[in-house]
Structures are given as structure tokens and as C-alpha cells.
Amino acid sequence: MTTDVLIVGAGLAGLSCASTLTRAGISSLILEADDDVGGRARTDQLDGFLLDRGFQVFSTAYPEAKHILNYDSLKLHNFYPGALVRFEDRFHRASDPFRYPLHAIQSSMNPIGTLVDKFKIVAWRRRVLTGLVGDLFQKTETTTMTHLQSMGFSQVMIDRFFRPFLGGVFMDQSLRTSSHMADFMFRMFASGDIAIPENGIGALAQQLAQRLNAEQIRTGEKVVNIKGTTITLASGETLTARHVVIATEGPTATQLVPQLETRPYHQTTCLYFSTSEPPRTGPYLILNGETNGIVNSLCVLTQVSPSYAPPGQHLVSVTTGENSMSDKGNIQAAVRSQLMQWFGKLVNNWKHLRTYYLVQAQPDQSPPLRSTKQMNPKIGEGLSLCGDYCATATFDGAIGSGRRAAEEIMSKFKT
């Protein structure tokens, strides 16, 4: 089979690239090392439970995703807009004041920040919702921590809410991530719903893959070398096309093209437990507002979408803080011990299903983040890059990066 474009990697970036090329009538073939599509955004099935490879949520406001994904067929189930914060032996509700004004008034006096902090949230919300999404990436850049401090948030608000919340999103509890990402994610939370698809987060990639012909994706095919526009597979087979797109994670791209430089990656650990009784009801993300303990956040996923477990069962997902992987042997015991303080002895009855140790979870996004103009760097004639590390480390960043790579090829093929 001859093809115009070879794409290495069937994560969201590679699939978005192939999907855009297909719509333009350009043929492509994806080579994927793993046994299925999705990359980091995959869902495993275990005895009727849906286990996303790490706790992942989708924002319906993602600007790139809106154009390419069909939300109706994803059957999205929404989280409560806000969170529960565990602090001083209680769960305190932090609500989006625009969607749940009554809850916001009730929570205005809780110890998760001062009343002034709550007004500052409203002001930040107004600022990030002004103008185009791209404008947020043109502002003066600093770290998230400095940004929060310069907006006047109290240290209490930062430690009890933003550190577990944004620190969990960025897998960076020190909040060294770019302020551009903080603004971008805050806009996404403020302007869309936070959701999970009924069939798990892997449904995003499955939907894109279903738009391609089955022969357009070859799984179990690791690319080991790229020379010009010829690639070599681990099997020894070589393939040549007019153009090659590397849509792998950054470190693999560096192995294939040694002159490339990529950033270090953040890691995270996600533990899944099943239980017949949910420890909390309601579709909440629960944050650890204490500055100690191994747990960063917890979610009873079946309270958001019952499809995540067989009937009569509940699925609890626990995400730990960034440095917890150094003590793999004790993670489960440490998590259980902390959650016993939150939910009591019930935790002893939880059945451990699986732990995901995600070493290359998200590229570091500390400043300077690429400006929109620098995204998808060019690396040579007939060779392009795409992936979340070329944009923002989100589903949306990966999808947008794949689209841009495809559009560059489309304009090149026209000339």
C-alpha cells in the first residue's frame, strides 16, 4: 500500500492529524507501538470496571476538541462545578458562584480561603473569559504560584485549594507551571462542563479512530528509525511516504530525532478501589486541603457515571501527590491509612483493583511555554512533529497540534 503521510503514534495528536488529512483527501497510515489507539488517554476494562489510565477529565470548552469530537455520541457525564475540600476533619464545598450561587454563598465563610479570596476568584474568572483563548498565551508569563500571589490570593487559599486543584491538573504541586496554563485551564473550567465519557476517557481516541479505515492504523508496530521520509519498524520492515509525522511523546521523539530537545516529564500515581458503598455521594472531585498526606485528590467515579462499574459496585479513583512513586511498596497502605481518617473503617473493605504508575504523564510546562506561534516546531523537509508537548499538555493541546501538523502538510502538498 502506498500512502502520502506516515504518522508515528496513535494518541490523540496522531489521530487528529490523520483525521484532518483524511478530510482533505490526503492518505495516511498510522504506526502505533501499543496494542490499541489512545496513547495516554486509554481506558482498560477489568471485571466490568472502566479504569482510565490515570484520573483524567474532559472540558467541554476545549476549543480544538469542540471542532473535531461529537460530544453527543461520547455521552458525557458531568462533575459538580467546584470541589469538596478535605480540611480539619470535614469536607468543605467550594462552588462555582455563577452556576451554584446559593452553594457559593453557603461556602463563602468556609475555611478554604477568605471572603476576599472568593471575590478574587470572580475577578480572575472575568479576566480569563475576556477576549480570545489565544490572548491568554500572549500575556506576561510567570509561574502559577507567582500569578496567584500577584492576583492577591491568600496563602491559605493557595495551599488549601489551588495547590491540590491546579497542582493535580498540572501534576506539579509546587505550582511552577506557566501562568498561561493556569489562565487557560481556569477559562476551561469557568466556561465549560468538566466531564467523563460514558465509556471512559479512551472513548475520545476511539471516536477519532472510527472515522479512519481499519487499514489506516497498524497497532503493535514500533518505529525504531526515521531517515528522511523512510521509517523502519522493529520488525525490520521499511516504509516510505511523501511526509512523516512524529506524534509520539516528547522523549520518544528525541530518540527518533536526536537533535530535538524535550522537557522532563511529571509523574503521577492513580489507584483504583471497588466498594459496594460509596464513601461520598454526589459527582464531586475531592481535594486534600491539608498540606500533608499522600493523597492529592479522590473521586467516586460511579457517582459521575455509573457506567464505570458493574451494577451494585462503585469505583473509587485516588491520585497521589507528585513524589509518591519513590515508595511504591507502601503507596497502597499509605493511601488506605489516610482515607481511613477521611471515611472511617469502611475503607478496610475496599478492594484494590489496580495501581497505575505513570512515569511520563505530562511534560513539564514551566515558563517559558511555547507561544501559539512557536507550537509544532519544524524539524526538516518532509518531517513534522505533533503532540501535547508541542502545545498544551491536554487533550485539546494534542488534538490541536495534530490538526496544525496536518494543515502544514496540506499547504505544502498544494504548492
| Interacting residues with ligand FAD (CB under 6 A) | 8-14, 31-34, 39-41, 54, 56-57, 222-223, 247-249, 252, 268, 358, 361-362, 387-388, 393-395, 397-398
Nearest distance in Å: CB 167, ligand FAD:
13
Q: Is the dihedral of CA 53, 200, 298, 369 positive or negative?
A: positive
**Measured from the CB atom, is 279 or 363 closer to ligand FAD?**
363
**Cβ-based nearer residue to ligand FAD, 10 or 148:** 10
**Residue 346 CB, nearest approach to ligand FAD (Å):** 26
3-class secondary-structure state, position 118 = helix
Is the CB of 33 or the CB of 239 nearer to ligand FAD? 33
Q: Least distance from C-beta 395 to ligand FAD, angstroms?
A: 4
DSSP-assigned beta bridge partners for residue 95: 82
Beta-bridged to residue 87, according to DSSP, are 90
Q: How far is the CB of 61 from ligand FAD (least distance, A)?
A: 11
What is the DSSP secondary-structure string of 250-297? Answer: HHHHHHHSTT-----EEEEEEEEEEESS-SS-SS-EEEE-SS-SSEEE
* DSSP label of 86: E
Considering the complex, what minimum distance in angstroms separates the CB of residue 246 from ligand FAD? 9
CB of 101 to ligand FAD, least distance (A): 26
Closer residue to ligand FAD (CB): 107 or 288 = 288
Euclidean distance between CA atoms 410 and 404, whole angstroms: 10
Contacts of 384 by beta carbon, 8 Å cutoff, 6+ apart: 243, 244, 245, 246, 376, 378, 405, 408, 409
108, β-bridge pairs: none
Give how far Cα 36 sits from Cα of 106, 170, 218, 235, 320, Å.
Answer: 46, 26, 9, 18, 27
Q: How far is the CB of 114 from ligand FAD (least distance, A)?
A: 28
Task: Kindly tell me which of 95 and 362 has the beta carbon lying closer to ligand FAD.
Answer: 362
Which residue bears the cell 492518505? 27
Nearer to ligand FAD by C-beta: 268 or 313? 268
Between 121 and 386, name the residue whose CB sits nearer to ligand FAD.
386
